[in-house]
Chains A and B, each alone.
Chain A
Amino acid sequence: MAVRHKSVETKYMEDRDAVLKGLRQLDRRTFLKVLAASTGAVMAKGLMPPHSFQLVEVANAAVDKATSASGMAGKPPFTFAYISDTHLYERTLNQRFVRGAVKAVEDVNALDPQPDFVLFGGDLAQLGRRGELDLGKQILQELKAPVKLMVGEHDWFYDLGEAWQDMFGPPTYSFDWKGVHVVVLMSVYEKDFWTARKLSPAERMQIVAGLDNGIQSRFEVGDAQRKWLSDDLAKVPHTTPLLVFSHSPLYKYYRNWNFWTDDAEQVQAILKPYRHVTVIHGHTHQMLQNQIGNISFYGMLSTAWPWPYAPTGLPPLTIQMNRADPFDQFDGLGDGQFNVRPDGLADMIYNLWDRNPVTIKADYLTSRGKTARPPGPQFASY
């Protein structure tokens, strides 16, 4: 993009990073003093500061110690950032969602050190039009780190993925990264509800775009792709940590809003033999976590609008976010990053705009909430 605007938040982050860099120059004795003081201040406020370097370093040291005996020692930890659910309309129609997407790109570009890659969580477009996807591609091209994309239903159901695949390639793929096997799934297939009703592509897209529109089918990974997943994993040892990216949650949360994957249990069964599995999904536009057997699930934030928690089915381990302030465009939205530990599990950071960030430690989920429980919301859903 020709013109680059820095948001107030971005400038603040840059200033803070400069201060933190300065602090790293201190000698050890002074450093410890600053560490103690800042930690004290942070504790007094009751905050978990994921971006503050001192606690992250302490945490990493602890993890190194804990995992050195697990056989995964020696695998370097790494980070990746995420941006999800930008829901872009054509630029001429709507600037509001463009502001959100650009703000997330600025956030991620301000990370120092840069993440290994940026995961984009799907729903780049709102109504699957080529112009919307083009705009999204332009914005994501501004990212300094490489981007790994997955597809969402808003990208797909106008032309059944034609434009998206032209631009970004196949929606299902896998790769290996620093000892972790990464799988990207297309989890938002729907059984044909349009042919019998003689719906136009635009009508089909509009129905899928309506979260509470009951005409559409439920999301599924599908037989063919589950077969692909089994084949892909056939060569991967069960001790290798898995990272799975899917747009919909690979479990059943709330059917009416497609916070749901119809064949979730079958996909979970394929992932079951693996020791450490992390599933990261978009679509739900809220802080959302779950643990089913060996699988830890994390839902990503949107940059366009937040969704309230569904009336039923919320996983009990979920640390909810405060309900969003409708008067603040950016409240309840954001981006974030994952810090992948040497054992292949990941700590997730929700970088909530206009709020304090929240870290969900992998231990919180794997211990079923017995350790590392982050603070809950003051104002839960109605």
Chain B
Amino acid sequence: MSRRIIAYATLGFAAVVIAAAAYSREIRAQESPPVTHQVPAAKDGGVVVMLCDGKTSMEVKGLKAGQSMTHEQALQVTRELMAKWQREHPDQKWQIAQKDESSQPVPAPSAAAGPDVSKPSGTVPSPQTGAKSPALGMQQGDTYASFTDRDYKIWKNETEKFVAEGKRIFHDTKELGGTIGVSCDMCHPDASNTHPETYPKYQVQLQKVALLRDMIDWCIENPVKGKAFNPNDPKLRALEAYIYAQRKGTALDYGKH
């Protein structure tokens, strides 16, 4: 059972990395659609279930589209899917938590690496904590303990690129689709007075509960005199990233006026 859970977690991590890469591609090619998995058609009238790798799939016979599996059925399907994945990836390196006595702790990322954007902190057991206290977390070879300096650098770099793209758009009336020369930074230097930590809140002027993006859109339609973004527009996402990044460390306080 534990072997399976670890396998899921590892795959989950792979999916996160794929998603991160997709993010940056998305920014570069402004309009490219998000990555979706093509599930093969069912051959025996059942429902095809696919693993998060986007390749491994199997058909659940006797299950109709829209129907739910029983718990036992679902466990059986995941067991079979994982077994199939393992058969197809015989050279995949496995770390089995409870049984593997020989696994070595991965060196903790040094403080000099500097990335603090995506490192676990607070109550999440960090590699550093694990290194100091062998009774906790990392000597078990779990997911978080497996990350290296390089991982942290990649994540930090990707995140900072996303934020920098938001900063560029925030300061550029043309990128915002503005028609009267106004850009966000003119009223909000360093994204000040955007208070993203206060959303969602009832925005009395809009007569509804607003999210940060509702206010971004409002500003773009009114003072900037542009057109509101599609909710999935990479520019809107980048603007949100920049605005949130400026409030790092501020306590969330939704509903605050």
Contacts and interface: CB of A to CB of B under 8 A. Distances in A.
Given A89-B180, A93-B181, A382-B195, A306 B171 contact: no
Contact of B198 (A89, A95, A382): A382
Interface string B198-237: 1000000100000000000011001100000000000000
Interface stretch (B39-47, B48-56, B186-194): B186-194
A382 B197 CA distance: 10
B182 A96 contact: yes
Contact of B181 (A126, A257, A325, A326): A126
Q: Which 10 A-B pairs have the closest CB atoms?
A: A308-B193, A212-B189, A211-B189, A382-B195, A94-B180, A327-B205, A212-B190, A308-B192, A89-B181, A305-B187
11 contacts: A94-B181, A96-B180, A96-B182, A126-B181, A213-B171, A307-B187, A308-B192, A325-B205, A327-B205, A327-B218, A381-B193
A133 to B, nearest CB: 16
The A interface is mostly helix, strand or loop, or mixed, namely loop
A326 B219 contact: yes
B219 A212 contact: no
Given A325-B205, A382-B198, A307 B180 contact: no
A210 B195 contact: no
Contacts of B186: 211, 305
Given A96-B180, A305-B186, A325-B205, A210 B192 contact: no
A101 to B, nearest CB: 15
Interface string A244-260: 00000000000011000
A382 B191 CA distance: 12
Contacts of B182: 94, 96
Nearest to B194: A382
A148 B189 CA distance: 29
B165 to A, nearest CB: 17
B26 interface: no
A311 interface: yes
Contact of A96 (B205, B219, B223): B223
A310 B189 CA distance: 9
A307 B189 contact: yes
A323 interface: yes
A256 B190 contact: yes
Nearest to B206: A327
Interface in A182-235: 210-213
Nearest to B250: A382
Interface in A295-329: 305-308, 310-311, 323, 325-327, 329
Nearest to A304: B186
A94 B180 CA distance: 5
Interface of A: 89, 93-96, 126, 210-213, 256-257, 305-308, 310-311, 323, 325-327, 329, 379, 381-382
B160 interface: no
Contacts of A211: 185-186, 189
Contacts of B223: 96, 305, 326, 329
A381 B250 CA distance: 14
Contacts of B198: 382
Given A326-B223, A379-B257, 8 more contacts: A95-B180, A96-B182, A126-B181, A211-B186, A306-B187, A308-B188, A326-B187, A327-B222
B181 A382 contact: no
Contact of B189 (A96, A257, A327, A329): A257
Contacts of A329: 223
A56 B242 CA distance: 48
Contacts of B205: 325, 327
Contacts of B171: 210, 213
B223 to A, nearest CB: 7
Interface in B145-203: 171, 180-182, 185-190, 192-193, 195, 198
Nearest to B256: A382
Given A210-B185, A307-B187, A323 B193 contact: yes
B28 to A, nearest CB: 25
Contacts of A379: 257
A282 to B, nearest CB: 16
B185 A212 contact: yes
A89 B225 CA distance: 15
A52 to B, nearest CB: 31
Nearest to A306: B187
A41 B132 CA distance: 70
Interface string B110-146: 0000000000000000000000000000000000000
B193 A382 contact: yes
A261 B223 CA distance: 30
Nearest to A93: B181
A213 B185 CA distance: 10
B167 to A, nearest CB: 9
A305 B198 CA distance: 23
Nearest to A209: B186
A325 B187 CA distance: 12
Nearest to B167: A212
A49 to B, nearest CB: 27
Contacts of B195: 382
Given A210-B171, A325-B205, A93 B180 contact: yes
